[in-house]
Amino acid sequence: MEREDCWVTNLVLDRDPQAAIERLRIGENTTIHLIKPSLDRRTLFNEIKKYPGYVLKANLSGKDAIWAEGKSCTACRILESFNMMVMGGKSIGFDKVRYRIIAPTKAEFNRALRKLKEEEINVIVISINEYSKNDLTPREREVIMSALKLGYFDIDRQISMKDLAKSFGIKTSSISDVMRRGLKKIVMDYFRDSLA
């Protein structure tokens, strides 16, 4: 996808053209970027903190990375507004980003694609994989998609099983059962060829 309005990316790459930038949590209003600088990270960190209009929050992460939250670009805002999961993105220079997306249906994916093109964002679809073999029930799909979107599977879990259950108005044990059944189908489908 080509876009020019990701100010975090533009700011970082203007100062460190070899930096690697990934989008970890895309939102309608803000997006959190993981930046892996090729130059001294403390210098880059101090430099981007000088621009609070572009970088709303920034933190050093681990030994070699920076987390920076900034206003979402047009592409991120559009993708977040549809019922799909953006699994990640990676900046390729100033104006291009590669996204990995999970859409509940092909129709939803196509609606998002049309909206991006309406906004004059150049989109190239590299590949489409359909995962319909695992036969998830609508409830399993809804629960797993919500868990994914709300950060249940994040390394720093954003929502507990208990809170996820509350959001559905059901018991923790019930949501756990639904997720286990659905995840088993997904894992079995993923390893289908290995198990044969």
pLDDT digits (tens, 9 = 90+) for 94-150: 788 888 888 877 888 999 999 999 999 999 998 887 665 568 888 998 899 889 888
Q: How far is residue 194's CA from residue 78's CA, in Å, rounded to a whole number?
A: 38
Domain assignment of residue 178, given as a range: 138-195
Query: CA of 144: how far to CAs of 42, 100, 139, in Å?
Result: 38, 17, 8
How many separate domains does the chain show? 2
Residue 63 confidence (pLDDT): 85
Q: 172 pLDDT band (50/70/90 cuts)? A: very high
Residues 175 and 89 in one domain: no
Residues 111 and 144 in one domain: no
Residue 94 confidence (pLDDT): 76
Q: What's the one-letter identity of residue 144?
A: I
Question: pLDDT (tens digit, 9 = 90+) per residue, 45-94?
Answer: 999 999 988 999 999 988 889 999 999 989 888 988 887 777 777 888 77
Q: What is the pTM of this model?
A: 0.68
Q: How far is residue 132's CA from residue 128's CA, in Å, rounded to a whole number?
A: 13
Please report the beta strands in the chain, taking only residues with DSSP state E, as ranges in sequence order.
20-26, 30-36, 55-61, 65-71, 85-92, 96-102
Summarize the confidence of residues 159-169 as an average pLDDT.
93
Residues 75 and 142 in one domain: no
Q: What's the one-letter identity of residue 179?
A: M
Residues 78 and 149 in one domain: no
Question: pLDDT (tens digit, 9 = 90+) per residue, 3-51?
Answer: 888 899 999 999 999 999 876 678 778 988 999 999 999 999 999 999 9
Q: Is residue 52 part of a domain?
A: yes
Q: Is residue 18 part of a domain?
A: yes
Residues 16 and 88 in one domain: yes
